[in-house]
Chains A and B, each alone.
Chain A
Amino acid sequence: MEIRKKVNHLPVLTWNKLDFNEATLSADVTFAQKDYRKETELPEGMRLAGELDRAAFVKWSKEHGCETVPEAIVAGKFPMYAPEQFQTGMGAEIDDLLNDAGVKTLLYEVDGKIGTPVKFTYDYYEDAAAMESVLIHVKAGAEVTLIQYFDGLEGTKGFVGSSTRVYLEKGAKMHLIKAQMLPKDFIFFDDLGVKQQAEAEFTFTQLELGSRKAYLGACFDQIGEASVLRADLGYIGMPESFLDYNYVDTFRGKKSVGVMRFHGVLFDHAEKVSRETLDFRQYCTDAEGDEEEDILVLGDDIINKANPMILGEEEKVSGHHAVSIGKLSPEMLFYMQSRGIDEAKAQELMVRARIMEVAARIPDEEIYRQAGYYVDRAYCNRTDCNGLCK
């Protein structure tokens, strides 16, 4: 199957020559009807409620008020927002891809307070081409932490895709964790759409350490009053790797609060394209959005593109974004060297600090440990030890 999908659309178009307006996900793969997710016993309060084909998913979305209505034409003569059923960060063509490959959506319902994290481990122990789509419905007042961990056997290759939709009813809480540590010859995409009703809290922690190419999209729709979002992305752009992501936080409810943090490191010949948007819609009075991107660049021939946007059609809001891109500051290096730490070690410390700050938000020892190994290996590769110390 030849895949060529337009994904990660910038919510507002900008100059075409900058090549920011969208990305193209392309691959040539044959999908196998094989499940690489390890068996997980669902805890009490969480159940698999069904498998939805596209028509059933559309029906479910309508019944739960998750349809995307075409928005006003604002920035140009073209619609700002591509209409999509239950909007995600990567966009409608991912749904087409899943549908064409015959992937159904697994509907999970959560209606209790689940104390321990639920972990879905995807283990690609062979060359693989697989996609999964899940819809998680967290009912009013319910709470859950879900970990999706993507791992694979070194030396294998493949194409892996994950589509996740989350619907949080009033006062529901969820911490979703996605940790991707696939071998370097994988292509990976992860598409997320979240709807938050009043007072719902959503925490999203994403760690991107593996694969040669990765496409990430996340769209947080804060519909309800006083809903809260906290999103953190940590990534290492290894040599010759490519990362393209699109995070959009849409504020609709009054007093909704959204915080997004991006911590990245780019090594030689790595390429990264980021789109980060705070979108304040009319009537989201007293909403607060804050977004920061901090990128450490540690190699030659890198391509580092960023487009952090604030869109505002409500006056009574507070929005802020900041980006910092560069090497280690001379002051920091001097401080480290005055304490006997050489430049290479200082760099490693700073890379570790960035990644482990995100990893520390993940309540799972295995993932935390593996994240540490990835930092080790990043430095081993750079000093020709071929990752033997892992």
Chain B
Amino acid sequence: MAEMRGDTPIDISEDRSKGLLNDVERGLYDFIDEEREEDFYKVDEGLTEEIVRQISQEKHDPDWMLEFRLKSLRIYNELKVPNWGPPIDGLDMARIVTYVRSKTDMKASWEELPEDIKNAFEKLGIPQAEREQLAGVGAQYDSELVYHNVRKDVEEQGVVYTDMESALTGKYADMVREHFMKLVPPTDHKFAALHGAVWSGGSFVYVPPGTKVDIPLQSYFRLNAPGAGQFEHTLIIVDEGSDVHFIEGCSAPKYNVANLHAGCVELFVGKNAHLRYSTIENWSKNMYNLNTKRAICEEGGTIEWISGSFGSHESYLYPTSVLKGDGSHAEFTGITFAGKGQNLDTGARMVHLGKNTSSFIDTKSICKSGGISTYRSSVEIRKTAEGAKASVNCGSLMLDSISRSDTVPAMDIRTDKADVGHEAKIGRISDDAVFYMMSRGISEAEARAMIVSGFANPVSKELPLEYAAEMNNLIKLEMEMG
């Protein structure tokens, strides 16, 4: 019998096919709100200098930004598509619309939003989350933010949380120019260059020295237009001794055409500052998610990444931490769940430059129904990083034999004064564990779902309660028997 592993047909014996779990549609995220032509402005499909100039003009860019975009476009045209990851042949840039904007202005009240956009975010529970547990919210719909609000008490602390466009021309324009795509230069890879050329939307956060933001800030990205790309830019600067938690969520309805997400996140963590960056990514399964995230930590600074990757057709996602300052620290805790039709290539990269720096990677991968999950990482300890410590722990759980799970970790150590440990395991759900649970009255499906949730626990316990619940719901959805 023929089944699919990623995009490749494979043969499987009939007895094995009986044991496969069916996939489910995720209606919660896959709802479609038809966009009326007259309510939206969009550029033509494809990527040309004219389109880049059009986007720049539409966004009222300063001159330097237009130059930056055009330079990025030139770099994009020169760089090759990666030869090492999931195939992205199905992504035709000539068919992607790089800029789609609702004709509504950005609002600071949910009530002022057009009904269709407001409904989309209501269904995703964003306004409710804001009321209950967030210090500030930015909501992006297609290419631009449509809603932005920050709590008054947080604003009074001096915390700046605004959309990138306002930041680019407002009071913080110089700060933005000083930091924009300095951590992820357009020369980094082809899709960083693409981002540099057509970016729009995203958030700017500045936390002044000695400020602790007790409750999280959140951005939510919804890509609703079929065949469109989303290229938001998130720039966060956490100044000396400050502390903040930023959450991003993403989703999109499923279409029969390819959508593209090539966002960019740049995080600057100051001396003795602390930043936690949490993501629950649930793009639809027609999405190419080619996202770039990078943080740099000064002396004593800490970056913590919490990452849940559930959606998208194909993903390239490897948050990078550059530990520049002595005594700086990075942690990456991630889970990837690859189901039918998904090829998710995720992981992390740690670069140790400063003395006595430390990093910790803990990841879990789960694959089923022909999904392909690849954990890819590197730990690079440079000659200057004396006293560095790094630990990597990755576990893979395969739920059937038509799926695939690969672990590709690399280590490059350039000093004798470092300690590095790495451990990886691949396996399946233990029959004994399922039998034990079934003997206590739990159905096989429930037992398997519980075991998978337990496997994912190191990630879910790091998330705020409501996001952990969302993640567990996603796992439950993925695990449901047909």
Contacts and interface: CB of A to CB of B under 8 A. Distances in A.
A59 interface: no
Given A74-B5, A305-B411, A314-B401, A15 B84 contact: yes
B270 interface: no
A302 interface: yes
Interface stretch (A75-83, A97-105, A228-236): A75-83
Interface stretch (A131-139, A162-170, A321-329): A321-329
A377 interface: no
Contacts of B83: 13, 16, 76-78
B415 A308 contact: no
B6 to A, nearest CB: 7
B6 A74 contact: yes
Contact of B410 (A73, A306, A314, A320): A306
A323 B421 contact: yes
B416 A298 contact: yes
B406 A12 contact: yes
A321 to B, nearest CB: 5
Interface string A110-151: 000000000000000000000000000000000000000000
Contacts of B418: 297, 325-326
Interface residues of A, number: 50
A62 to B, nearest CB: 23
B378 A18 contact: yes
A83 B210 CA distance: 59
Interface residues of B, number: 46
A344 to B, nearest CB: 15
A319 interface: yes
Given A305-B413, A309-B409, A315-B400, A323 B86 contact: no
A24 interface: no
Nearest to B411: A306
B424 to A, nearest CB: 5
Contacts of A21: 84
Interface string B285-317: 000000000000000000000000000000000
A373 B407 CA distance: 39
Nearest to B86: A76
A236 B378 CA distance: 25
B420 interface: yes
Given A75-B406, A315-B400, A18 B412 contact: yes
A314 B89 CA distance: 26
A20 B410 contact: yes
Contacts of A310: 396, 405-407, 424, 426
B427 A318 contact: yes
Interface string B388-426: 000000001011110111111111111111111111111
B399 A315 contact: yes
Contact of A74 (B8, B376, B400, B426): B8
A372 interface: no
Nearest to A275: B410
A14 B396 contact: no
Contact of A313 (B401, B407, B428): B401
Interface string B419-439: 111111111100000000000
B94 to A, nearest CB: 19
A319 B86 CA distance: 23
B92 to A, nearest CB: 15
Interface in B369-388: 372, 374, 376, 378, 383
A320 B417 CA distance: 27
Contacts of A12: 374, 406, 408
A357 interface: no
Contacts of B420: 323-326
B406 A309 contact: yes
A1 interface: no
B85 interface: yes
A303 B416 contact: no
Given A297-B413, A305-B413, A323-B420, A312 B404 contact: yes
Interface of B: 5-6, 8, 10, 83-87, 89, 372, 374, 376, 378, 383, 396, 398-401, 403-428
29 contacts: A12-B406, A15-B84, A18-B378, A72-B5, A73-B8, A76-B87, A77-B83, A77-B87, A266-B416, A282-B401, A298-B416, A300-B415, A304-B411, A307-B409, A308-B422, A308-B424, A309-B407, A310-B396, A310-B406, A310-B426, A315-B398, A315-B399, A318-B425, A320-B424, A320-B425, A322-B423, A325-B420, A326-B418, A327-B419
Given A16-B84, A21-B84, 13 more contacts: A18-B410, A75-B86, A75-B374, A78-B83, A297-B416, A300-B416, A302-B416, A305-B410, A309-B406, A315-B403, A319-B427, A322-B422, A325-B418
Interface of A: 12-16, 18, 20-21, 72-78, 266, 280, 282-283, 297-327
